[in-house]
């Protein structure tokens, strides 16, 4: 009986870990949305829960992350190399950062209070995606 219980523990733990990572944009207390906005045209790839991307190639973008259905205080985690231009503090349900269009694909993940969303920005070559 003990062996059966011990064998079941890792399966439950693995199942719980898979369930926790299957929907990274949702958690108790809110959902994290993101959108990628072109700095030059103002075009957005749309606001989506969990992941987002640009609609046009550009040399720079605003990445807009926002919590829907959550409440303060917030604990934002922003990756290095990106300038915070709005929010991203304990009382703000949004976090806006900058990103440059570069010649390699980028995945920029921001987290808040245990939930995360990732902006996927394709490589930019001149005024087009590579």
- Give the N- to C-terminal CA distance of the chain in Å, as an integer: 59
pLDDT of residue 27: 39
Identify the pLDDT of residue 14: 31
Strand partners, 86: 96
Spell out the CATH class of 24-123.
mainly beta
- The ranges assigned to domains in the chain are 24-123
Q: For residue 12, give the H/E element and its range.
A: helix 2-22
Secondary structure E strands in 6-114: 26-27, 30-38, 48-49, 51-52, 60-68, 76-77, 84-87, 94-100, 106-112
Where does residue 88 fall: left (phi above 0), alpha (psi -120 to 50 degrees), or beta otherwise?
left
77 band by pLDDT with thresholds 50, 70 and 90:
very high
Q: Is the pTM of this model over 0.95?
A: no
- Six-digit token string for 49: 């829960």
């Amino acid at each position: 009986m003990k062996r059966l219980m011990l064998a079941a523990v890792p399966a439950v733990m693995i199942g719980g870990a898979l369930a926790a990572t299957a929907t990274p944009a949702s958690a108790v207390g809110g959902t994290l949305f993101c959108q990628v906005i072109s700095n030059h045209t103002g075009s957005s790839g749309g606001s989506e829960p969990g992941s987002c991307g640009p609609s046009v190639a550009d040399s720079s973008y605003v990445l807009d992350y926002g919590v829907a259905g959550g409440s303060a205080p917030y604990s934002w985690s922003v990756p290095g190399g990106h300038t915070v231009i709005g929010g991203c503090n304990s009382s703000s349900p949004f976090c806006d950062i900058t990103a440059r269009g570069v010649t390699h694909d980028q995945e920029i993940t921001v987290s808040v209070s245990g939930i995360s969303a990732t902006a996927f920005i394709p490589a930019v070559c001149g005024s087009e995606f590579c």
